Amino acid sequence: MKQIKFLFLLVVSLLVFSCTPDEVAPNVCLNGDCGAEFWIDTLGHPGTYQDAQGVWHIKHANLDYFTIKGRVNELDPHYVINRIPLVETGFDSNFFYTLGNVIWTYPVYSFLGLWSSNQMNTPIAVGTQTYTFPQLVQQTTIINLAGYQIQRNPHVNVNHPAYPGYFATYSKYTYTPQQSMVFFVDFEGRTASIYIEVTLGENKETIRKEIKIAFEP
């Protein structure tokens, strides 16, 4: 009887000491304060300003580009490896154009909006004809304001799992992301929205921002 009792106590002890609680990962941001802000760099474009509605009015100033700058709040040290923060900032926009000077925007959009906003089959006016995005990329290269290009491909397959990954540009592993974008004279008088997605600490937290801009002479 004593042997049975001893064995029972031994088994219970092993169970108690072998069951340790799972380690709880700290909040991804330092002191739980996750945040990011973005703005247009005005140094190269004198007269550029943000109005009361939050729209950035960008003056051309004889420069064929402008730059978006950002600042991301610091991460908890758990998500900083060898002084490199696990931060990824993606840029996309609703503003597309071709080398043949066809320019269009989508009225409803978001980050990776051709999928999330279901825009792949939205008609695009080219002269007297209309095309969908897949039809147009079969004939010409399409460029996004954010800086990525979808090369002409007569056999394009937009349903390929890797295809959405082409529709953004990225700044990685920095608290001060930035992205330069073109500003051609042909853009003057048009508007665009830039969509920014910041992913923090191995996809633990996501921050989404939108910058509205108006191109001016």
Q: What is the DSSP letter of 109?
A: -
* One-letter amino acid for residue 215 of the chain: F
100-109 pLDDT, tens digit each:
889 999 988 9
Contact status, residue 119 vs residue 165, Cβ threshold 8 Å: no
Is 167 domain-assigned?
yes
Residue 6: pLDDT band (50, 70, 90) is: very low
Residue pair 212/55 in contact (Cβ under 8 Å)? The answer is yes
C-beta atoms surrounding 74 within 10 Å = 15
- 163 falls within a domain: yes
In a domain, residue 24? The reply is no
pTM of the full predicted structure?
0.86
User: Each residue of 8-34: pLDDT tens digit?
Assistant: 444 445 444 455 555 566 789 999 999
26 domain-assigned: no
Residue 51, domain extent:
35-216
pLDDT tens sequence across 69-91: 999 999 999 999 999 999 999 99
pLDDT tier for residue 209 given thresholds of 50, 70 and 90 = very high
Q: How high does pLDDT run on average in the chain?
A: 88
Q: Per the domain annotation, does 12 fall within a domain?
A: no
Vertex 94: Cα angle to 213 and 216 (nearest 5): 30
- Residue 141: its pLDDT value, please? 95
CA-CA distance, 69 to 177, in Å (whole number)? Answer: 6
Round to whole Å and give the CA distance between 59 and 70: 20
Higher-confidence position of 129 and 85: 85
**What pLDDT is recorded for position 24?**
63
| Nearest-angstrom CA–CA distance, 74 and 191 | 32
Q: Is residue 27 part of a domain?
A: no
Our count of domains for the chain comes to 1
Residue 155 domain-assigned (yes or no): yes
CATH number of the domain encompassing residue 170? 2.60.40
Residue 165 lies in a domain: yes
